[in-house]
Amino acid sequence: DQQVKQNSPSLSVQEGRISILNCDYTNSMFDYFLWYKKYPAEGPTFLISISSIKDKNEDGRFTVFLNKSAKHLSLHIVPSQPGDSAVYFCAASRKNTGFQKLVFGTGTRLLVSP
Amino acid sequence: GAVVSQHPSWVICKSGTSVKIECRSLDFQATTMFWYRQFPKQSLMLMATSNEGSKATYEQGVEKDKFLINHASLTLSTLTVTSAHPEDSSFYICSARDNPGTEFGIAKNIQYFGAGTRLSVL
């Protein structure tokens, strides 16, 4: 049962344009959401997060939007740069899980072309 | 800040041998560390949660006798793959949870990851 889903395995965007990566979740108990960026053969790098009490969080070129009623979050990258090309994972954390496990989506490969 | 170091980055071993992977939090103390495994083109699958000073908690389907975890200090957790076989070949990644507090009563659960270890069992 995939509780966190990223339905687009890949996305191609031109440099300077907006990249929008989407993530859906099924468990309403999730209360904290994160986006990670991953290059091949490296560990994920934390990008930005949002708690369920908010609907938007912004950090430089990265903005995360959360729609709790739709159980949907998205990551906007503006403007996109070639160095943003990587696999992006969304992750969710659930209330009352003691050790605060993260559940990861399947990832979306972003390619930003010059 | 929040740097996690994982060593080695790549290891090749013969079938039947054991391999130890280290995960260190360099600039913060981590009472909880996590071990993941990633198969090609798939997501990160949590194997176990490592707690300082106590036994690790393993996810369903992960053999605890196969994947030994020790979290002896607040900055070090180790994963030992015992009697490795070719099917254990994979990319193993650790993470450590920093504790940056709460936001409106919700724990800011941010995990920082090591660079990963590529294990190849011949």
pLDDT tens track for A21-58: 999 999 998 988 999 999 987 889 999 999 899 999 99
Q: Which residues of A touch B109 (CB under 8 A)?
A: 32, 34, 93, 100, 102
The pairs formed by A43-49 with CB atoms below 8 angstroms and a separation of 24 or more are: A43/B4, A43/B6, A43/B93, A43/B94, A43/B95, A43/B113, A43/B114, A43/B115, A43/B116, A44/A89, A44/B44, A44/B93, A44/B113, A45/B113, A46/B2, A46/B110, A46/B111, A46/B112, A46/B113, A47/A75, A47/A88, A48/A75, A49/B108, A49/B110
**pLDDT range class, residue B107, cuts 50, 70, 90:** low
- B78 min Cα distance to partner chain A (Å): 16
Pairs of CB atoms within 8 A across A/B? 70
Q: What is the pLDDT of residues A51-109, one digit of tens each?
A: 899 999 999 999 999 999 999 999 999 999 999 999 999 999 886 665 578 899 999 99
Report in angstroms the alpha-carbon separations of B1 from A55, A60, B27, B75, B120. Answer: 27, 19, 6, 14, 31
Q: What is the pLDDT of residues B62-102, one digit of tens each?
A: 999 999 999 888 899 999 999 999 999 999 999 998 776 76
**pLDDT range class, residue A1, cuts 50, 70, 90:** low
Question: Among A5, A42, A106, which would you mutate to test the B interface (most chain B Cβ atoms within 10 Å of its Cβ)?
Answer: A42
